[in-house]
Structure 1
């Protein structure tokens, strides 16, 4: 159970946690709900730690684009929680006070292969407060472990229904070892997809949810659940986007890869920012291609450096 705190005790030697409260029902462009954790990376040079977690990375990417973004997550009142909070707030993310819990901050051990791909071992707990949130977001983004792990996943759905935002975006970012059998996971995925305006998933997610099904059939099946825009990332091969009966294929970018940590989250942050800026009804094939190209370009910046170091606005080309 999450405990809402507004100010840490400030004991001598204790980490200082930020996450200042705002006035009730504060308007915010985007609220992200989901896990934040410390990525512990094992590589040839040894071990390093960097804040991560799919939803927290998305919030980070949006904050670095100048989006007014808040994050509801789980962070321990420990040194890792303090480090993650400072990292997020430095990039313009408002970490909600309801995010702080008695449990230790979650971690993910990432092992980097020679090609830069990462495999993970998780030590994660996820719960979500059942209290009404004092924010009024236009867009809510969620996904990853927060959508599938108990006891918090049902409460995330309840928040979506209670907040009733104009836009809901969803990225399952599936971790099979942590979330159970495909049939149960598919059912929960579809619960979220029915509420979503935009769904982004990887080709590995698609294969897990709908094994041995052609990608165009998967896109159609997800679109029929209700989302207006569905995107599937394909690593170095780029991405496929589907909306309003348009399907576009966006090629990947040939760039030197340090690691792939945060690439999908960068794509998601770009997609949220781009979609949110569209005029109602504006999803032509040209616009869809531009959204995909921008997202692929942004992800190519992230893979060129270590960890989930998502790009800032100054590093991105303006959308034509």
Structure 2
């Protein structure tokens, strides 16, 4: 089975068991980073197919029902083990930040990518948990080698599933070699390269081949790095409910901005390089992430919400465009 959506999101669907620091109960929520990105893109009006897998077990039943009601196009790859991934999310009620542990199963038998796909997104567990990670890398490589196509990756580092830092770094470096856009948080890069400032690590990732690296810094905003420019934007000041799904909403808004109408009436991928374009894309993405952080759980904004909130955010500071570097 294949689809005609121009965006394919490849990765895990799972059930988050959310444990809040001030609560006595654990609540299950279906999600997963790639799944959240796909739903975010759908809410922003972008045609997208989620390529994922889940097991024939109680968490899988919850995932299937959730995806069925989401409105997104789902391509379910067979699972070799028949198991679904479960994540335990510990939410600090004071800061809203979450830490995770996982019972993982990412073992799609195959990852079908349509000939109509022009933008492939992946990340999180899907790029590091074997045996599925090897298939994801190959799918990225094949699309990356086709003219007019692009690969985007959100590292979304999860040491709980791969505590070997050197092995994780190796996987990231291989992935960056077949990616056009790489997004990572300061926490991601701080864990992968603890001896470097996250901004320096982001610049270093450009050497592997991406045309754009985006560094998110939570409440401090985000920075885009290209071969010739660096642009930063501030994040809106908000009351945080929790940070679950905020980075995924950021990524969905970033990806949505990469699609543009082609002369033939279809969609094409355009990766911005000019500082003013990068500033516009980043501003939209930080607002999407901030809106999601004001809500409990992964609830990305729809297009009208994002447009309204982005317009209200334009007064917050100017982008810091470095221009060409010597």
Both structures adopt the same fold (TM-score exceeding 0.5): yes
Task: Please say if 1:39 is aligned against 2:16.
Answer: yes
After superposition, give the CA deviation of every residue in 1:270-316 in whole Å (9 maximum; x if it has no partner). Answer: 11111223875742111101111111100111111111111112211
Q: Identify the residue that residue 12 of structure 1 maps to in structure 2.
A: none
Q: Identify the residue that residue 123 of structure 1 maps to in structure 2.
A: 103
Q: Is the 8 A contact 2:8 2:50 kept in 1?
A: yes
Task: Please say if 1:249 is aligned against 2:232.
Answer: yes
Task: Please say if 1:57 is aligned against 2:40.
Answer: no
Once structures 1 and 2 are overlaid, which stretch shifts more, 246-255 or 134-143?
134-143
Task: Please say if 1:231 is aligned against 2:211.
Answer: no
Separation in 1, partners of 2:269, 2:100:
39
Residue 289 of structure 1: SS of its match in structure 2? helix
Which of residues 256, 269, 286 in structure 2 aligns to 1:296? 286
Separation in 1, partners of 2:152, 2:111:
22
Separation in 1, partners of 2:225, 2:142:
28
Q: How far off is 1:105 after superposition?
A: 2.1
Q: Identify the residue that residue 171 of structure 2 maps to in structure 1.
A: 188
Q: Is the 8 A contact 1:77 1:101 kept in 2?
A: no
Q: Identify the residue that residue 84 of structure 2 maps to in structure 1.
A: 105
Separation in 2, partners of 1:198, 1:279:
11
TM-score (norm 1): 0.86
Return closer, same or farther for 1:100/1:62 CA change in 2, 3 Å cut-off: farther
Task: Please say if 1:172 is aligned against 2:155.
Answer: yes
Q: How many correspondences in the alignment?
A: 297
Task: Please say if 1:73 is aligned against 2:56.
Answer: no
Separation in 2, partners of 1:133, 1:279:
17
Return closer, same or farther for 1:133/1:289 CA change in 2, 3 Å cut-off: closer
TM-score (norm 2): 0.84
Once structures 1 and 2 are overlaid, which stretch shifts more, 231-240 or 164-173?
164-173
Task: Please say if 1:220 is aligned against 2:203.
Answer: yes
Return closer, same or farther for 1:125/1:281 CA change in 2, 3 Å cut-off: closer
Show structure 1 runs of 4+ deviating over 6 A: none
Residue 221 of structure 1: SS of its match in structure 2? helix
Q: Identify the residue that residue 84 of structure 1 maps to in structure 2.
A: 63
Residue 59 of structure 2: SS of its match in structure 1? helix
Q: How far off is 1:261 after superposition?
A: 0.4
Q: Is the 8 A contact 2:150 2:179 kept in 1?
A: yes
Return closer, same or farther for 1:288/1:49 CA change in 2, 3 Å cut-off: same
Q: Identify the residue that residue 14 of structure 1 maps to in structure 2.
A: none
After superposition, give the CA deviation of every residue in 1:96-133 in whole Å (9 maximum; x if it has no partner). Answer: 13255652321111111121111112111111223654
Alignment of 1:135-214 (within 5 A): 136-164=116-144, 166-214=149-197
Q: Identify the residue that residue 48 of structure 1 maps to in structure 2.
A: 27
CA RMSD of aligned residues (A): 2.1
Gaps of 5+ in 1: 1-20
